[in-house]
Structure 1
Amino acid sequence: MTDDRTKPEFDAPDGPAPAELVIRDLILGDGAEAQPGDTVTVHYAGVEYDSGEEFDSSWGRGESIRFPLRGLIQGWQDGIPGMKAGGRRELVIPPHLAYGPAGGHFLGGKTLIFIIDLIQVG
């Protein structure tokens, strides 16, 4: 898959933030399937659940990013395996699977929404 897909639009969430990880496939991929601990190449954007404010986007930097899943927040480690290259997935990640309680990281205590395009596994 190429990384020429356009940056996703986020829909405003309904209701209170979920207490557990929510995984929703927006586009099903047909490439290699990501496994726990794999290295992946992705494009992604993240917004805060409550405010809808974007806090990070690889599209904003103009390039995809490659990294091992082991080094990421738990919500990504749990939410990307099973996804296939070419797919687009939305993850809604509660604080305990993201950056923990308020006070440490600037995103601590916040539920986060990511839309991730899986470009390549390995």
Structure 2
Amino acid sequence: MNLPKLPDPDKSGFFYQVTSPGTGNNFKNPDSVLYNLTVKSLSTGAAYLQSPLLSNLGTFVGYTDQFYNSSLVTTSNPQGFYSIPAIRTALLALKPGGVARILLPSYLAFGRNGAGNIPSNEIVDLIVTTYPYQKQALLDDNRITTFLTSKGLTATKDPSGIYYIVNTLGTGEAVNGIGSTVNVKYTGRTLDGAVFDSSADGLSLTLSGLVSGWQIMIPKFKVGTKFRMILPSAYAYGRSGFNTISPNTSLDFDIEIVSVTN
């Protein structure tokens, strides 16, 4: 394999290559970085991990030597955190939008125990892809506007950053606020169209117990309204995610307000 590498004056034991430098200034430890990871076997090319394309990892550069993935939770590592300082080293050589490839010996990766579907003593080939945005809200907005354009949809942007489309404007009782309980029919999807939750028959929900995007948008409308809203991740499940929803994922909802108890 002919892989040009940057010098390793610290004798770190791993090799990395900046395959695309990005633009602007190099990342520094206090900077925010939004990025994705791909982990493959160096010997076979088998893919072990791939960040979901419609979400991303995000933290301060100085914290990126701690690597987490829920699929890597094991009895020997129940928290699913692994120390891989090579990620931070490579990021410090990049600018926003840059990409780096890292070749990691097993003792600097997942060791003799392996993790998830990564075997024991596996040398891994890791790709770090950063986004040109350093704020999650900007990346989410780009994803949402790209989604709307691809679907030929025209939406209104709320001051919060939430996009919405009113299909039927209701004339019934108003929703007073987040203390209200609403009966709604809804479908929730990720931006690739995958449905993660729905209620065709109607479900009663108290707004105060829901994600903030619902708390912001539902009180803007009256009973009988049917609308669609696309939530930036901060107004959905944020950096933590929830069940099958990955961290930093924007969500797409169809909602009908059936009734309200204020």
Q: Please report the TM-score for the alignment, with normalisation by the length of structure 1.
A: 0.77
The CA distance in 1 between the partners of 2:177 and 2:229, in whole Å, is: 16
The CA distance in 1 between the partners of 2:169 and 2:177, in whole Å, is: 18
Q: How many residues are matched?
A: 104
* Helix, strand or coil at the partner of 1:100: coil
* Runs of 4+ more than 6 Å apart: none
The CA distance in 2 between the partners of 1:53 and 1:35, in whole Å, is: 32
In structure 1, the residue matched to 2:254 is 115
* Helix, strand or coil at the partner of 1:70: helix
Gaps of 5+ in 2: 1-146, 151-156
Q: 1:27 to 1:104 in 2, by over 3 A?
A: closer
User: Aligned-pair RMSD on alpha carbons?
Assistant: 1.9
* Helix, strand or coil at the partner of 1:31: coil
Q: 1:113 to 1:72 in 2, by over 3 A?
A: same
The CA distance in 1 between the partners of 2:177 and 2:187, in whole Å, is: 21
- Deviation, 1:24, is 2.2
Q: 1:104 to 1:93 in 2, by over 3 A?
A: closer
In structure 2, the residue matched to 1:78 is 216
**Which of 212, 217, 225 is 1:87 aligned to?**
225
The CA distance in 2 between the partners of 1:35 and 1:92, in whole Å, is: 22
In structure 1, the residue matched to 2:237 is 99
Gaps of 5+ in 1: 1-11
The CA distance in 1 between the partners of 2:205 and 2:249, in whole Å, is: 23
Contact 2:189/2:251 (8 A) holds in 1? yes
The CA distance in 2 between the partners of 1:45 and 1:39, in whole Å, is: 18
Q: 1:121 to 1:44 in 2, by over 3 A?
A: same
**Which of 147, 160, 169 is 1:28 aligned to?**
169
Alignment-mate amino acid for residue 113 of structure 1: D
- Deviation, 1:94, is 0.7
Q: 1:104 to 1:98 in 2, by over 3 A?
A: closer
In structure 2, the residue matched to 1:7 is none
- Deviation, 1:82, is 1.9
The CA distance in 2 between the partners of 1:23 and 1:65, in whole Å, is: 21
The CA distance in 2 between the partners of 1:78 and 1:66, in whole Å, is: 17
The CA distance in 2 between the partners of 1:22 and 1:47, in whole Å, is: 14
* Helix, strand or coil at the partner of 1:84: coil
Deviations 1:15-71 (A, max 9, x none): 6xx89211221101110011212110000001111x111111102xxx210011000
Q: 1:30 to 1:104 in 2, by over 3 A?
A: closer
